[in-house]
Homo-oligomer: A and B are copies of this chain.
Amino acid sequence: MLPNPIENLVKQLARLPGIGPKFAERLVFFLASQPKEYTSAIAYALIDFAKKIKHCAECGNISETGLCPICASPKRDRTKICVIESALDIIVLEKSGQYKGLYHVLGGVISPHKHIMPENLRIKQLVDRISKRNNSPAFAASPEKEKNNPKIQEIIIATNPNTEGDTTALYLVRVLSPSGVKITRLARGLPSGSELEYMDEATISSALAGRKDL
């Protein structure tokens, strides 16, 4: 019943996560009520994005350049790699201002029922990245090179604190332990500003198990 360009735009927008056909329809009718420049501005931002954005060859972060600004920065602590599910997680970690190391984007988590297996994630790249850096014979010969590219001393696993994130973390521990590098995982416990009353049992359990001396 709707004209073709509308049907097609609804269909395209409805493919985005969190935007169903109803929401897409609302967006399209909203766009129809706006000047054409409004719609074009969004279209050109999408085209520019599709044209310019690639993935960092080292960590998989999204980037305009071959190496992302974090991997390229001389100010980052190159002895630490924080492993996250998605590039989006980098924003949150960076906002905390507490982490100065490097990242490694997995591109998802192991989830057999969604047919996501370890080989679909950037796990092999992580293993290679560590062994390339830590086993290079060049390092022994050139202390200068070692200073700029020191050995990796810690892998911080920051997959989400849920079943799939935990499964992936366990898998990572298995494949990374032969490297001999220390492996840690983000702490579990009560989120800041929360109230005990509203916490689920799993969170309370992890807060108890991880309790600290004062």
Contacts and interface: CB of A to CB of B under 8 A. Distances in A.
Nearest to A36: B50
Contact of A53 (B5, B18, B49): B5
Given A43-B47, A64-B4, A27 B33 contact: no
A26 B89 CA distance: 10
A19 to B, nearest CB: 8
A187 interface: no
A135 interface: no
Task: Identify whether the interface residues of A are mostly helix, strand, loop, or mixed.
Answer: helix
B62 A8 contact: no
Interface stretch (A9-17, A109-117, A167-175, A188-196): A9-17
Interface in A84-116: 86-88, 91, 94, 107
Interface residues of A, number: 53
B49 A46 contact: no
Given A5-B45, A18-B26, A43-B50, 15 more contacts: A3-B63, A5-B49, A5-B51, A5-B64, A8-B48, A17-B27, A17-B30, A25-B91, A26-B88, A29-B62, A29-B87, A31-B46, A36-B51, A39-B49, A42-B46
